[in-house]
Every structure is written in C-alpha cells, then in structure tokens.
Amino acid sequence: MSSVKFLAFADLHHYPEVFYTFAPERLAAIRQRAIDEKVDFVISLGDFGGGKPLDLLAEYAAFPMKTYHVFGNHDTDNMTLTEAIKAFDMPGKGYYFFDCNGFRFIILDNNYVNIDGSILHFELGNYFPHPNTREILPAEQVDFLKETVGASPYPCILFSHSSIERECDQTPGRPFRSAIINRQEIIDVINQANSRSPGKVRMAINGHYHRDFLRILDQVVFLDLNSASMEWVNNPHDHFDRELTAKHTYAANTVIYNEPLCAVITLDHDGTLQIDGMKGSFYKNVTREMTDNPPCDRSGRPCTANIQSVKMKMFYR
Ligand SMILES: [Fe+2]
C-alpha cells in the first residue's frame, strides 16, 4: 500500500442547550462521507463536545471504520481526565500512535497548564484562570514524540488540538493566543528528524481555532483545520431568533456553519498530498463580520465556512 486516505474533523462542540450545533446530524453526515470516500480511518481533532457527550461518543465509536480522538481543551471541562480517557476510549493517557498503510500517525495531548510551577492536565475548568500559562506539551510527551518518530519505519503525521506552527502571542488577556507555549521544542524534534531523513515528518494537523489555513514550513505541511460546526465570538450578537438564543446559552456567542465541515486527506509515499475540503455557508447568513468582533484572529486569519481543497506534491531530498 503506498497511500492512505482518512477523514479529519475538528471542534464539533456537541453541547445541547449550550451551543446550537445540531451535532448528531453533522456527525451522521461525516459518517456518510467517510463511507462514501472509503477512508481508512476517521479522526476527531478535539473539542468533540461539552458536558458529557456519551451518546454521541458511542455513535462515533460505532462508525464502520476505525475512529480516533485527539483531546481538546473543552473535552475535560465537565469530566475528570480519568473519566474522559474512559469515555473517549483513549489509549494510554491521551497521547499515542498508530500505523496505517505505511504511515505513522502520532496523537499529542497539549492540554496542560502551568499552575504555580505544576504542569497539570486541563480538568474541570482548572485552566480558565490561567490564560498565559496554558497549552503545553509536557517533557514526557516531547520525549515520546522524539522516540516515536525516531523509531518509525514510516513517514509520520502529527495531530494536536492546538497549533504547532502558530506564533505564541504572550500578551496577557488576548483571546486565542493559545498556541503551544513550547512549540519550538516540537519543531526542533521535527526538523532534526527531517534533516536526518527528509520527509520523515510530513504533515501536522490541528483544530481549536476554527480557521482554514495551510502553511508549509521547512517542508512540513501544517493544516489549521476549521471547525465542523461553528465559530465563537466574544461579544454576543442579536442576529438569531430569540427563541433559539433563549434555548441555547451561548448561541448568541457563535456564528454557525450550515455544513459539517470536514476534510478527506490522501497521502502517498511519493510525496503527493491531497486535501478534499468543503465549501460551506453561514446559518441565517450571519458571518463574523456582522458581529461586534474583530474579523480576524490574533494570527490574522479570517473566519470562513470553508476548508480549502489542495493537491500538491512535495519533493523530499
Ligand atoms: Fe479548542
């Protein structure tokens, strides 16, 4: 087998009565696309839900192909880490790897916060008061990454909820500054592996920011994967019906995608990389620009209801 094909989605945010994401319908459409595209597996890039989304987790686990999770920051907001590991059926502590069709997929868990010198996993909202010391890849995971890439006979793809390529804005109190604080350590592992063996780490995919952005750095393709459901806006708007916002606590703090945005990604050993994205639209035509919020995030990336489609060939030499 020289190629692998998988479906990736992020930030489904199934949280009944809090968000209006009609997530069960979205997940059913994602399932159907995965079947139609005959993918080898499906992966959720985190923030699958809020509360305790046990019913939908069971639906996901029952897909007719293998399914995987990456932990997002909100996945342990209403569960302990131990409960979440069980509910999500996470191998080990939440970081792990698997091999498929001659590629290695490495799942990282960057949901850690430094509180008074202790590095703690996000749990029951403990990270909320610490916006400037959150999103860390603990040393044991940096070592795990180094060893797992180093021992791999295959090209590697990384998954994390937060971005490895976004710059980390340290300005206190800024929303969405939460790139991984020690991202440079991860980039060093990637670049050292690629300098020894070009094409060893080929791609890294993240969710979390609800943005569609593609960047190539040192021959690694970084995909900032859009949310499958919606975008958060700090300042609420009044464009939705009152009935809807009365029933859903934070609906007015969102603009919502009509489509279940997801990407089918095909990688070939010869360096070909194809992303089949989706063009979508906004619920009630309400866009972020119509709300009282800056149009772009701290990295200057706009909110669109799209995932771009791309076919490229990388030459590793
Ligand atoms: Fe997130």
Length of the chain: 317
75-120 per-position pLDDT tens digit: 999 999 999 999 999 998 899 999 999 999 999 999 999 999 999 9
Range of the domain at 108: 3-313
CATH number at residue 51: 3.60.21.10
Q: What percent of the chain has pLDDT over 90?
A: 90
- Spatial separation of the C-alpha atoms in residues 289 and 302, rounded to whole Å: 9
Name the domain count of the chain: 1
CA of 153 to the centre of ligand 1 (A): 32
- Spatial separation of the C-alpha atoms in residues 40 and 7, rounded to whole Å: 8
Q: In Å, how far from its chain's centre is CA 1?
A: 27
CA of 156 to the centre of ligand 1 (A): 23
The CA-based angle 147-133-73, given to 5 degrees, is 70
Asked if residues 53 and 84 have their Cβ atoms less than 8 Å apart, the reply is no
φ and ψ at 203, to 5 degrees? -155, 150
At 177 the pLDDT is 56
- 173 pLDDT exceeds 90? no
177 against 120, higher pLDDT: 120
Amino acid sitting at position 203: M
CA of 10 to the centre of ligand 1 (A): 9
34-78 per-position pLDDT tens digit: 999 999 999 999 999 988 888 999 999 999 999 999 999 999 999
At 52 the pLDDT is 87
CA of 74 to the centre of ligand 1 (A): 6
CA of 269 to the centre of ligand 1 (A): 31
CA of 111 to the centre of ligand 1 (A): 9
CA of 72 to the centre of ligand 1 (A): 5
What residues flank ion ligand 1 with Cβ within 5 A? 47, 72-73, 208
Asked if residues 65 and 116 have their Cβ atoms less than 8 Å apart, the reply is no
- Spatial separation of the C-alpha atoms in residues 17 and 222, rounded to whole Å: 34
